[in-house]
Structure 1
């Protein structure tokens, strides 16, 4: 997805959330492993940060360190799982679920006996037992490979493990991910970049951002400015101690099969992903994923990419990126790559293999945001539905309930049902006041903050827009341009809008971009 993806850092996402295109979700698979019993207990995993204090916990905690390294011959990367076993542990069993996937094999073991395809048993004698896997990597992330390798660099993700121990103490483990000693590279938040790079650390709003720059001339200045604005104005009430941005040495033409993705509190982009040429910036989309993570599951799965798509565009616009006309054009869903089809968001079978969960999802959320603002007279927004959540919506019904509660309006439920549970599209909000995400910012650079411009009847995103620099922003009930599309029927019906929104330059047009999430990431997105 060159743009798109997972949840709150402070509270670690226990599952490795690989919200990206092209990379097999199998790397995030968890294994139920052997059933605990007969003295075996599943070890509680502490946050990765606890691994730094593991030496003081010797005798009470089992420490797991996963070390990534490149091999002499191209085409594979090694991952070694090393264990420091405290005296209080008398038995250790390790499950590595990814071993059930083609392209991942066991290279060697030390102190472990392989008891099943994915499981290993410690011999109780070896002080530092280990298992080394070999992962197939290729030019692209996808079928048959579990990482990417191009020239003198590689990128891999940390697989999950299932650890059970015998002990009379509390069963606890800490885990860390790193790069082999003496090998250039950097690992953070379940991702490892293997290759020569430069690192730059910046602190914004008490959050440390580490840029891992694989490209010599990569410049994170604009991205850093966006992070500053985002932390101050667009954070959904979420703050992390740190995030990591891996900037791969790829220009825009070379991102096919790699694109961009977020895993936990880290994400990767190509060198071109640092650019903010328009509101569809890859960087902004991935930033939202680090904040919201997996937003919904089951028939609310579409919310994860829809929210990143909508807010990625919205936050970039409010940070002065791109122009208003293109912003609305990009938000307007009209067809879903790679083929046009009738799409119902609550039915993943209708949109799997397309970009509809990005495109239609973002379009619907934009309209929903405007409805919430209108019905609460601006007191609440869609962000109030997402802010502070630590768990995904378990289904669409849970999301719908949260929306009606925030708006304090049960009639919003049927409105939302129409566009989420059928193939209908709502009219896209026309009045720019509905897109103001931070009233104190001045995205059009005319010296007046957005909130003040809206109050004065001026366009907050287009300096001097409308007659005499003003645009009509009446308080009539209509929030859209009056157009509703029913994708399945292939017809568009138009009803007269009830207010004169859209008279200024920058209102109108059509377009759609995107990229697919879990199964395939369509290259066209974010390019």
Structure 2
């Protein structure tokens, strides 16, 4: 059900264990979080924690982070700066908090409140309690107090004017919130069709009944091109493409299908699988060519990283780059080893069911169970060492068609080639902005002085031109001047329009 989820990790504290043993039936009390905008204070929203109690409860203690401030309390008193206690008598107690929403990462916002609308995540509130009699458990609920949308665990929340598009695909219901001031680069029909194709063709388990998607207006300096948060929600910037191998909509959707518990040794799979399947599904959907798909996957960035050990990555973003290349090559390896009867999707489905954290050893076991024999040597070479595999160039291998192994070509006697007419190739030539030397249009660096001829992403180093987000890793490339609003590359020290110093 929308906005509601039983939290199986909550633990209660019994003060009468012998009675609990005799009465195993669970009883519940509810804690509902909801929010509304505060149009008078940009960056802040009102957050409400409301309780419906059970008669067996004897005490409730709430602990909350420092970016929450208790504004008004009914049935609670503040025992410490970030802690409140129930008075033991009020049956429907509540607290209204002042919530500082703005969160930044990678040089931009992850969550933000503008005063007229907000994109946020409900904060963690630690709730502990004591009871007598039968066990009492906590049922956490998530809601909104105005126009907006909320995911089942409160990890994606939008407050403000918007329109909503909903559709069903692959046994899931998608709800897309489009804020009034968002302007989609791709058509809404294409976004829905792209997500539908992914939901219907990604067979890895881990499906939620509902997926919440928020289109983030691009007039905000976001830290990422998109962000998945919690169980079943994500946001993507309105300028995101559906016809690029790095399809943000599918990338974030694939994150919602990952159910394994994290382990450092398999951390590379978190982004390796999302990048790979975003590219694969976009290619299979006919939105990019095979050459664009292959070119995106066979990147050499961060190739010397040892994926099994994040401490030996050459960049924090190695799981985006080398991770996707290794995932693609591993999928191809599995397809070849099994004659096309199995793919990495079968591995994905198995690791989604693994008990406990997904270690490298458990990953190897899952692969062995899918393929019928181990790929330890392959994994040792490309996951446990700094080497990189080739991504096969046979298109049929990735489309599921039969791939025949070509027979060796017979030797032929070499003959002198006939003379051909010279073909004139026109190459655009420009001047290096530093030394003035002539440079060709496809050069990344000036041969004379070494100046980078493209702006570079500050995270992964990819050359970029006027894109607001890096097409390689999604990092925000442009920042907005606080004085005049001009957008410029994040490496600029001064605004080129008004001269304001940044930082």
TM-score, with structure 2 as normaliser: 0.71
1:430 aligns with 2:396: no
Tell me the TM-score normalised to structure 1 length: 0.68
What does 1:161-240 align with in structure 2 at a 5 Å threshold?
161-165=125-129, 166-180=131-145, 183-189=146-152, 190=154, 191-215=156-180, 217-218=183-184, 219-240=187-208
Alignment partners' CA distance in 2, 1:78 and 1:40: 39
- Report SS of the residue matched to 1:307: helix
Structure 1 residues 236, 60: closer, same or farther in 2, change over 3 A? same
2:257 alignment partner, SS class:
helix
Mark the runs of 5 or more structure 2 residues left unpaired by the alignment.
409-461, 464-469, 479-503
* Cα separation, 1, equivalents of 2:49 and 2:109: 19
What does residue 5 of structure 1 align with? Answer: none
For 1:13 and 1:435, how far apart are their aligned partners in 2?
40
Contact map agreement 2:108 2:222 (CA 8 A) in 1: no
- Does structure 1 residue 416 correspond to structure 2 residue 379? yes
> Take 1:151 and 1:116, find their aligned partners in 2: how far apart are those partners?
30
1:113 counterpart = 2:80: no
Please give the per-residue CA displacement for 1:230-266, whole angstroms capped at 9, x wherever unaligned: 2322131343321111112226xx5532531112111
Counterparts of 2:132 and 2:206, CA distance in 1: 37
Corresponding position of 2:214: 246
- The alignment partner of 2:46 has SS state of strand
Q: Is the 8 A contact 2:174 2:210 kept in 1?
A: yes
Hey, what's the Cα distance between the residues in 1 that align with 2:125 and 2:193? 37
| Closer, same or farther: CA 393–413 of 1 in aligned 2, 3 Å | farther
Q: Residues 246, 145 of structure 1: CA spacing in aligned structure 2 closer, same or farther, 3 A cutoff?
A: closer
SS of residue in 1 equivalent to 2:288 = coil
* Cα displacement (A) at 1:12: 6.8
Kept in 2: contact 1:296–1:302 (CA 8 A): no
1:384 matched to 2:350? The reply is no
CA offset at residue 305 of structure 1? Answer: 1.1
Which residue does the alignment assign to 1:68? 35
CA contact (8 A) 1:70 1:76 kept: yes
Aligned partner of 1:365 in structure 2 is: 327
Q: Which residue of 1 aligns with 2:405?
A: 474
Q: Which residue of 1 aligns with 2:117?
A: 153
SS in 1 for 2:196: helix
Correspondences of 1:117-516 after superposition (within 5 Å): 118-138=82-102, 140=104, 147-150=111-114, 152-165=116-129, 166-180=131-145, 183-189=146-152, 190=154, 191-215=156-180, 217-218=183-184, 219-250=187-218, 254=220, 256-263=222-229, 264-273=231-240, 275-294=241-260, 296-336=262-302, 342-351=304-313, 354-387=316-349, 389-391=352-354, 393-410=357-374, 412-436=375-399, 439=400, 451=401, 454=402, 473-474=404-405, 514-515=472-473
Matches of 2:256 and 2:6 in 1, distance apart? Answer: 11
1:85 and 2:53 equivalent?
yes
CA distance in 2, matches of 1:141, 1:186: 23
Deviation at residue 429 of structure 1 after TM alignment? 1.7
**C-alpha spacing 1:386/1:373, structure 2 compared with 1 (3 Å):** same
**Equivalent residues of 1:154, 1:194 under 8 A apart:** yes
Aligned residue pairs total 402
Over 3 Å counting, the alpha-carbon distance change for 1:139 and 1:88 in structure 2 is closer
Query: 1:246–1:267: 8 Å Cα contact kept in structure 2?
Result: yes
Cα gap change, 1:374 to 1:524, in 2 (>3 Å)? farther
- Between the aligned partners of 2:340 and 2:317, the Cα distance in structure 1 is 31
Q: Is the 8 A contact 2:7 2:138 kept in 1?
A: no
- Give SS of 2:392's match: coil
Post-superposition offset of 1:196: 0.5
Secondary structure (helix, strand or coil) at the match of 1:291 reads: coil
8 Å Cα contact 1:373/1:381 also seen in 2 = yes
Q: CA deviation at 1:277?
A: 2.2
CA contact (8 A) 2:30 2:140 kept: yes
Q: Given that residues 370 and 434 in structure 1 are in contact (C-alpha distance below 8 angstroms), is that contact kept between their aligned partners in structure 2?
A: yes
Taking the aligned partners of 1:127 and 1:196, their CA distance within structure 2 comes to 34
Deviation per residue, 1:397-437 (Å, 9 max, x gap): 11122112211222x1121121112211111222112222x
The alpha carbon displacement at 1:291 in A equals 1.2
2:176 and 2:213 in contact (8 A); partners too: yes
Query: What's the C-alpha RMSD, in Å, of the aligned pairs?
Result: 3.5
Measure the CA separation in 1 of the matches of 2:82 and 2:308.
Answer: 35
Aligned equivalents of 2:147, 2:314: Cα separation in 1:
38
The 3 A distance-change label for structure 1 pair 217 and 362 is closer
For 1:178 and 1:136, locate their aligned partners in 2 and report how far apart those are by CA, in whole Å.
Answer: 18
Name the CA distance, whole Å, in 1 between partners of 2:386 and 2:197.
Answer: 36
Matched-pair contact (CA < 8 Å) for 2:202–2:345? no
Q: Which has the higher helix share?
A: 1
| Shift in Å, 1:83 | 0.8
Ranked by relative contact order (alpha carbons within 8 Å, sequence separation 6 or more), the top structure is 1
Matched, 1:522 2:488: no
CA radius of gyration, larger in: 2
